[in-house]
Amino acid sequence: MRYFLLAIVVLLTSTLSYPAVAEVKPGDVAPDFQLQSSVGKTHSLSEYKGKWVVLEWTNYECPFVRKFYGSRKMQELQKTYTGKGVVWLQINSSASGKQGDFTPAEIVRRSGEWKTASTAYLIDEDGKVGRMYDARTTPTIVIISPEGKIVYHGAIDSIPSTDTDDISKADNYVEKTFSEVFAGKPVKVATTRSYGCGIKY
């Protein structure tokens, strides 16, 4: 009988499952969030309903991110699309004290130095929003429709490298996605495997 009970206990405990991962698929409703920006303003996703939104996971010290800022490609993208009414939110999910986690003043200084053109730089120190969107690397791009649906999730472009020369050779997924949705066409590549530095959760 003792063995029997033991066996039951073992059986029950063994069926406990491990926690689920956040799943973010194109077509899903983009989960809402609220974050403080580098200039102390609170931004929520829901306030941008009716507009196209780009979420760009960033880490100014990551060589993959520097590839796009150093070459000014990222700033160009930000400028082009904010110019078309798109909301561009940079998000940093580095945990407190880890690489990429700066004081708001330092963020403003560095962003100024790079002349970034995003709508805001949001600080996600506890990584909650990063995990919510299953962001794994910097850069990671998420594009959200005016209806609040995710239309693209993944890498910024098609060549995983830190080499600036590759930028012009690669397919840029931000450009591709917007050219398709603005033309009223379906998004051909809606998910890619993002590449870069692991986010420092």
Partner 1 sequence: MTPVKQFVFSVLVLLAVANGGFAEKLHHTSIQLISEVRSFEPGKPFTVGIQMQMDKGWHIYWKNPGDAGIPPKIEWVLPKGFTAGEMQWPVPEKISTPPLMSFGYEGSALLLVDILAPQNLPAGEKVTLKAKVEWLECSDICLPASDEVSITLRAESFKGLNDLSATLTRMGSGMKTIDLARQSLPEKTKDWDVSASRDGKALHLKFFRKSPSAVVPDTAFFFPDQAGFIDNVGKQILRPGGDGFMLDVPIAYDASANPEKISGIMTVKRNANEAEDAFLINAPIKSASAKIVDEPVAQPLGGILLYAFFGGLILNLMPCVFPVLSLKILGFVNAAGESRSRLALHGVMFSLGVLVSFWVLAGALISLRTSGQLLGWGFQFQNPAFSLFLAILLFLIGLNLMGVFEIGSSLTGLGGRPHQEGLRASFFSGVLATVVATPCTAPFMGAAVAYALTQPAGISFLVFTFLAFGMAAPYMALTLSPGLMRFLPRPGAWMETFKQAMAFPMFGAVIWMIWILSDQAGSSGVLFSLGSLLLAGMAAWIYGKWSQTDRRSWVRGGAQVAAVFFLLLALWPLKWISTFEKSPSGKSVEENGWEIFTPQRLEELRAEGKPVFIDFTAKWCLTCQVNKAIALDQAEVRRKFREKGVTLLLADWTNQDETIRTALASYGRAGVPFYVLYGTDPKASPVILPEILTPGIVQDALKKLK
Task: Tell how strand 34-37 and strand 42-44 pair up.
Answer: antiparallel
18 binds partner 1, rule: CB under 8 A = yes
166 binds partner 1, rule: CB under 8 A = no
SS3 of the chain: the string is CHHHHHHHHHHHHHCCCCCCCCCCCCCCECCCCEEEECCCCEEECHHHCCCCEEEEECCCCCHHHHHHHHCCHHHHHHHHHHCCCCEEEEEECCCCCCCCCCCHHHHHHHHHHHCCCCCEEEECCCCHHHHHCCCCEECEEEEECCCCEEEEEECCECCCCCCCHHHHHCCEHHHHHHHHHHCCCCCCCCECCCCCEECCC
Q: Which stretch binds partner 1 (CB under 8 A): 80-88, 102-110, 168-176, 190-198?
A: 190-198
Q: And the tokens for 2? A: 């003792």
Nearer to partner 1, 43 or 153 (CB): 153
Q: Which stretch binds partner 1 (CB under 8 A): 45-53, 134-142, 165-173, 179-187?
A: 134-142
2 binds partner 1, rule: CB under 8 A = no
**In this chain, which of 4, 96, 184, 185 binds partner 1, going by CB under 8 A?**
4
Q: How far is the CB of 195 from partner 1 (least distance, A)?
A: 6
Site map 69..108 versus partner 1, x via CB under 8 A: -----------------------------xx---------
180 binds partner 1, rule: CB under 8 A = no
Q: How far is the CB of 149 from partner 1 (least distance, A)?
A: 15
Please report, as ranges, the residues that interact with partner 1 according to CB under 8 A. Answer: 3-4, 6-11, 13-14, 18, 21, 23-25, 61-64, 98-99, 131, 134, 136-137, 153-154, 160-163, 191-193, 195-201
